[in-house]
Chains A and B, each alone.
Chain A
């Protein structure tokens, strides 16, 4: 039968290429944003964060871009590796609460 559930956006990339995962948020009062990575059977794992007074932050192989004008957040992964295959969530903080997106499933093709 037909499966029912969240239809995660999916992204497939070749190993070695760069990946860009996007997220739209809704609350202009959000002051802090996080990207999480969730591998199958594991809990979400912190990747990188950014505060609302910044528009770019770089980590090791990852960069987060924040465009507050259009309420858009992106995660760029350089030289994507098979170990990067996972579901990626963005989270926005409003007050003391975090709100999570539904996630994007990234598959890296060797």
Chain B
């Protein structure tokens, strides 16, 4: 099993640009989670999906953030427009039936 796959692994962009992060969950998993990790705030849940449907997006910072899951094997997290304070490591995780979450390697985002 390849585990959770995220791309890109690193992203450097300028303030105001659109950023799209991608995630492929473990095959067969029905839950998908997006997290953000910073030194200031630690690991924060942004949004999670169950069977491709967003269940709780209360952690999404503001309207500049959006997430989609068009099918069971793909999800995106988009930031538009990006700001320097969005700089963080973004993790995607997946689980089966709400059990143990398996994390991807993360996308390290730097907004200049």
- The chain B residue with its CB closest to the CB of A100 is B43
Q: Once bound together, how far apart are the Cα atoms of A89 and B33, in whole Å?
A: 17
Chain B at the A interface: SS class: strand
Number of A interface residues at 8 Å Cβ cutoff, please give it. 21
Of the candidate stretches B13-21, B66-74, B103-111, the one touching chain A is: B103-111
Q: Is the CB of A49 within 8 A of B100?
A: yes
Closest chain A residue, CB of each to CB of B6: A43
Which secondary structure dominates where chain A touches chain B?
A: strand
Interface residues of A (CB under 8 A from B): 4-6, 32, 34, 36, 42-46, 49, 89, 91, 93, 96-98, 100, 102-103
Q: Give me the interface of B with A, judged by CB distance under 8 Å.
A: 4, 31, 33, 38-43, 45, 48, 50, 55-56, 91, 93, 98-106
Q: List 15 other contacts, CB 8 Å, given A4-B40, A43-B106, A98-B101.
A: A6-B39, A6-B41, A6-B42, A34-B100, A43-B91, A43-B105, A44-B91, A44-B103, A46-B101, A96-B31, A96-B55, A96-B98, A97-B45, A98-B33, A102-B42
